[in-house]
Structure 1
Amino acid sequence: MASKTIKFLEAHQSDTPSRFTEEAAWRKENAGWLRWSRQLAVTLIGYMQDNGLKRADLAARLGVSPQYVSKLLSGTENLSFKSVANIEDKLGITCFAMA
């Protein structure tokens, strides 16, 4: 039974090597700003839900492309303070509470 399973796995093995180790290292190295980016994404998704907006609607309010909104909503976009302040000003919201 074990050899049958091994043969099956070998036959269905991907030709492309896994990038899991590299991606995990990248996430660990960038954990600090990724946390802020995910928080921004959650805030924007909540704003969209509360206001019945689609990505294109949010893009129009922010004056950016729908593709850029998709990047923001992915929670992996590295933004400057200026960009966050611009989002807050245009939407009239606070993305991050300062202690």
Structure 2
Amino acid sequence: MAVDNIHQKIAAIASKEPSGWLKDAQWRTENRAWLKHSQAIALRILRTLRAKNVSQKELAEKIGVSPQQVNKIVKGRENLTLETISKLEGALDIVLLMLPPSSESTTHNLSSTLVPEPKKSSAKKSRAITVKVLQQGIVAGKVHETGSGYGKEVT
């Protein structure tokens, strides 16, 4: 009897429509790359608004959008256009989007990106270790005919 009563109470307060959490999670996963950027921009805008003592409503008036649109932007889930970013930068006097210099103006030194050649001292050290291992193997009588230390014993 008590179990039936609990089930009735749960059924009464439970939503009749299924939750959209799975769809929301899939959307966030699919859009993760630009959402990260949107969230970073939103944080920068909020910090600037606070530092300059400007309200979201005032910002909306400056960039010519509704206060609701500014609210969407500062939530970090809005796929911003370059035009909107430019307006925000102008209104707040900040930089939100910075591109690296073009590849024509920067030259890369290829030798600095290549893996350096091993030093001679490390090659000597490697040979010394190999010789020591071979000597120990010969003393133990367990060196392969090719000298690898594996396989047939040399007698």
TM-score (norm 2): 0.54
State the one-letter code of the partner of 2:14: Q
State the one-letter code of the partner of 2:64: G
- Equivalent position of 2:36 in the other structure: 35
- Equivalent position of 2:68 in the other structure: 67
State the one-letter code of the partner of 1:20: W
- Greater gyration radius: 2
What is the CA distance between 1:61 and its match in structure 2? Answer: 2.4
- Rounded Cα–Cα distance in structure 2 between residues aligned with 1:92 and 1:86: 10
Identify the structure with bigger relative contact order (alpha carbons < 8 Å, sequence gap 6+). Answer: 1
1:94 aligns with 2:105: no
What is the CA distance between 1:7 and its match in structure 2? Answer: 4.8
Instruction: Write the mapping of 1:1-99 to structure 2, written as runs, cut at 5 A.
Output: 3=3, 5-96=6-97
Deviations 1:50-93 (A, max 9, x none): 01111111112223221221121121110123432332233220
- Rounded Cα–Cα distance in structure 2 between residues aligned with 1:86 and 1:58: 10
Deviations 1:8-54 (A, max 9, x none): 43332211111111110000000111111111111111011001111
- Rounded Cα–Cα distance in structure 1 between residues aligned with 2:89 and 2:59: 12
Q: Greater CA deviation, 59-68 or 49-58? A: 59-68
Unaligned runs of 5+ residues in structure 1 are none
Q: SS in structure 2 opposite 1:94? A: coil
State the one-letter code of the partner of 2:67: P
State the one-letter code of the partner of 1:72: I
Instruction: Confirm or deny: 8 A CA contact 1:58 1:69 kept in the other structure.
Output: yes
- Rounded Cα–Cα distance in structure 2 between residues aligned with 1:57 and 1:82: 19
**How many residue pairs get matched?**
98
TM-score (norm 1): 0.80
**What's the C-alpha RMSD, in Å, of the aligned pairs?**
2.2
